[in-house]
């Protein structure tokens, strides 16, 4: 109910305060040959279906398997929710853009896509940070893990993260909707992202730039510092373990998350922090395609391939289903 109210306020604000709201924005997408477009369409379709199936499977397993009712798997299931929201916001309309070598989107539709994108990305930044802290407590302070990472604290953190990012994305969308856009409203991208929208804006960008600066501190800089400190302490503690088997077991509990964090933050920093130019616009689109489309597919694969608990949960679920069929 609260989310619906926020979105209705955004729509009213856009419609009443921006003369551009009635215009359309043209997304160039990937300007390639017809054969490449057909190949890209089917590739995206397979990836999107695999993303939905893989993340829904993890959510279902964490919900029904008692062995996975732990803070780590609770956060993994929340990551799967974010990995469903992000491509669902972008991929369906990208099908149309790919097949038609570009496509128009209304200004309100563009703001809607931007809002959900900012919400999902910001939520994943904070979620990966608390997952790093969870691994730090589990390895560096195991005796107090149960008392620190309680179920109520985990649920409250997730609720705070969602509402915080609803609010931040709300401010992003309001500030973006007040901008005046010049020229032909053509964006050299496959979705309404902040950077390409700023490239066609011709009004004062200071309020939005200030908000983005503060937002980057909250969602990128501080989380990055926490993640580095957490894994720095994890490495220090693990290296003090005398047994090789003990060290391998400790590293294996956080290697999957460290891989996911590295992929996510490297791609995010390369797009939004490192300077770009017109010559690198195609590279930027490829990197954006990676973290908006490919990463949500890779995450459940990384967490399931090397995770004995998830493999065991899958086997138990299948055996339980087969036994129920035999009984019937």
Model pLDDT, residue 19 = 44
Q: Domains, the chain, ranges and CATH?
A: 2-327 (1.20.1070.10)
Model pLDDT, residue 280 = 62
Pairing of strands 103-106, 24-27: antiparallel
Range in 68-72, 127-131, 295-299, 304-308 with the lowest mean pLDDT: 304-308
Which contiguous run of DSSP H or E holds residue 26?
strand 24-27
Comparing C-alpha atoms, which of 318, 298, 308 is closest to residue 73?
Answer: 308
CB distance 185 to 24 below 8 Å: yes
Residue 205 to residues 83, 190, 211, 213: CA-CA distances in angstroms?
31, 23, 10, 12
Q: What percent of the chain has pLDDT over 90?
A: 37
Q: Is the pLDDT of residue 85 over 90?
A: yes
Q: Is the pLDDT of residue 162 over 50?
A: yes
Q: Is the pLDDT of residue 51 over 80?
A: yes
Q: Which of 145-159, 179-193, 240-254 has the highest mean pLDDT?
A: 145-159
Residue 279 confidence class, pLDDT cut points 50, 70, 90: very low
Comparing C-alpha atoms, which of 23, 192, 191, 185 is closest to residue 98?
Answer: 191
The residue that leads in pLDDT, 327 or 34, is: 34
Residue 8 confidence class, pLDDT cut points 50, 70, 90: low
DSSP one-letter code for 159: H
Model pLDDT, residue 14 = 52
Model pLDDT, residue 283 = 79
User: In a 10 Å sphere around its CB, with 0-12 CB exposed, 13-18 middle and 19+ buried, how is residue 289 labelled?
Assistant: buried
The residue that leads in pLDDT, 284 or 321, is: 284
Residue 31 confidence class, pLDDT cut points 50, 70, 90: confident
Q: Is 69 helix (H, G, I), strand (E, B) or coil?
A: coil
Q: Is the pLDDT of residue 55 over 80?
A: yes
Residue 277 confidence class, pLDDT cut points 50, 70, 90: low
- Half-sphere exposure of residue 134: CA atoms within 13 angstroms, side-chain side: 23
Model pLDDT, residue 92 = 92
Interval 60-82 mean pLDDT: 91
pTM of the model: 0.87
Q: Is the pLDDT of residue 16 over 60?
A: no
Instruction: Share the mean pLDDT of the chain.
Output: 84
User: Which residues are CB-contacts of 93 (< 8 A; sequence separation ≥ 6)?
Assistant: 103, 105, 113, 191
Interval 23-36 mean pLDDT: 86
Q: What percent of the chain has pLDDT over 70?
A: 86
Range in 181-190, 233-242, 292-301, 308-317 with the lowest mean pLDDT: 308-317
Model pLDDT, residue 275 = 55
Range in 84-88, 138-142, 217-221, 276-280 with the lowest mean pLDDT: 276-280
Range in 10-14, 28-32, 49-53 with the lowest mean pLDDT: 10-14
């Amino acid at each position: 109910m609260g989310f619906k109210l926020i979105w209705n306020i955004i729509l009213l604000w856009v419609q009443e305060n921006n003369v551009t709201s009635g215009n359309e924005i043209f997304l160039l997408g990937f300007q390639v040959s017809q054969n490449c477009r057909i190949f890209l369409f089917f590739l995206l379709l397979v990836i999107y279906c695999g993303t939905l199936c893989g993340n829904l499977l993890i959510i279902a397993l964490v919900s029904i398997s008692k062995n996975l009712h732990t803070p780590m798997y609770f956060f993994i299931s929340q990551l799967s929710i974010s990995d469903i929201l992000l491509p669902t916001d972008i991929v369906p309309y990208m099908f149309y853009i790919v097949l038609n070598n570009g496509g128009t989107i209304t200004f309100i539709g563009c703001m809607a896509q931007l809002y959900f994108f900012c919400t999902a990305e910001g939520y994943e930044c904070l979620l990966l940070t608390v997952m790093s802290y969870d691994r730090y407590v589990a390895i560096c302070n195991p005796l107090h893990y149960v008392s620190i990472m309680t179920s109520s604290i985990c649920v409250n953190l997730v609720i705070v993260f969602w509402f915080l990012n609803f609010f931040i994305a709300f401010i992003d969308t309001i500030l973006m909707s007040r901008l005046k856009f010049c020229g032909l409203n053509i964006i050299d991208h496959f979705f309404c992202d902040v950077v390409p929208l700023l490239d066609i804006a011709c009004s004062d960008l200071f309020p939005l730039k200030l908000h983005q600066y503060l937002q980057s501190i909250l969602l990128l800089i501080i989380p990055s510092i926490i993640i580095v400190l957490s894994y720095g302490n994890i490495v220090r503690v693990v290296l003090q373990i005398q047994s090789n088997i003990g060290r391998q077991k400790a590293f294996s509990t956080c290697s999957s998350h460290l891989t996911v964090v590295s992929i996510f933050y490297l791609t995010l920093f390369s797009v939004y922090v490192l300077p770009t130019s017109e010559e690198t616009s195609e590279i930027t689109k490829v990197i954006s395609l990676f973290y908006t489309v490919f990463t949500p597919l890779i995450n459940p694969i990384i967490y399931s391939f090397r995770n004995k608990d998830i493999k065991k949960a899958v086997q138990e679920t299948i055996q339980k289903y087969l036994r129920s069929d035999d009984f019937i």
